[in-house]
Amino acid sequence: MTQIIELDGALGEGGGQILRTSLSLSLITGRPFRLRNIRAGRPRPGLRPQHLTSVQAAAAIGQATVRGACVDSIDITFEPGKVVPGKYHFPIGTAGATSLVLHTIYLPLALAGGGPSELTLEGGTHVSTSPCFDFLKTTWLPYTELCGLHIDLRLHRRGFYPRGGGLIQATIQPCPRLHGLQLTERSPLRTASCISAVASLPDHIAKRQAERARQRLENSDLHLAMHQETWPGGPGTLLGVTLDAAPVPAFFFGLGERGKSAERVADEAVDQALAFLDAAPAAVDAHSADQLVLPLALAETPSAFSVAEITPHLTTNVEVIRRFLEREIVVEGDEGQTGWVRIL
């Protein structure tokens, strides 16, 4: 019997990413794991509905045996079986992030072979502290394409916190092999586009968000395009900034919530965009780095990329990957600073 991997959820930044990466790699490698102190670094530790859905989704696609899979659980054991591509529907039941469920299972399904998979995910599509759908479409999908993955991603309903109700569908094609990447520096940035959107809220909120973003970005030497939209669903708001970085555009966003001003929503997105500009010529934005390191660790060829900021999410994810894979991963630089990731 394969020896079980013991993991501590208090590792590094102590969030749900430890669980998601462990589930994904357990399915890919066939190695069981036990995770204690789940989300120990969060104000409310243990499995929340979106994390439980990730566990249930991983168990469903991989015919796994799971112990401890319930809301608020701080200890689970996961024994994987064979990953079976197919059609799956996973409703979170709350505004929990659909993007994080997708991140848990897309690689095992892609690498399993045997045909495409169709996923229907219901829950939050625009939720704080998780990748929103616009980020997935603008930045995450192009990175997956560079790695050799082919995923079609469609938004059918937007779901904001706390109501949820969003729905996305993903079609994941089988991937015979993943490609390593060499992303040393990005091209000079010349244009930026901003989208300010509201859903079931007054239009003046979108105007205030857009005006704040325009004021802060107009001195950045970028050609700036502004767009305002009104979306169905909600209530919710978004201010998104897309920078025309090559080979992949970088998307940064802020989301509204009760008691949060339109100006603060815009500031959240613009602060991130300006930090990325200041980190030139680093190629990969801070949010993409920890997501990119997992498929690259599974690629046959070496990879190296410069990153705008080394975050606890990145270093924690690297530590979890090392527990499952015999792959040398080197992170060069200090947390909070620009740096490099090399996968040898």
The residues with which 250 forms a beta bridge, in sequence order, are 243
Measured CA to CA in angstroms, residue 7 lies from 34, 80, 145 at distances of: 6, 16, 31
Q: What is the maximum alpha-carbon separation in the chain?
A: 62
DSSP characters over 171-221: EE---S-PPP-EE--PPPP-EEEEEEEEESS-HHHHHHHHHHHHHHHTTSS
Cα–Cα nearest to 112, from 179, 54, 62, 56: 62
Q: Which of 51, 103, 126, 313 is catalytic?
A: 313
Q: By the 8 A CB rule, do 108 and 61 touch?
A: yes
54, 100 in Cβ contact below 8 A? yes
Residues in the chain: 344
CB count, 10 Å around CB of 219? 7
For residues 96 and 50, give the distance between their C-alpha atoms in angstroms, rounded to a whole number: 5
Q: CA-CA distance, 275 to 119, in Å (whole number)?
A: 35
Query: Does the CA dihedral 273-275-277-281 come out positive or negative?
Result: negative
CA-nearest of 95, 224, 228, 103 to 153 is: 103
Known catalytic residue at 103:
no
| H/E run at residue 108 | helix 98-112
Catalytic positions are: 313
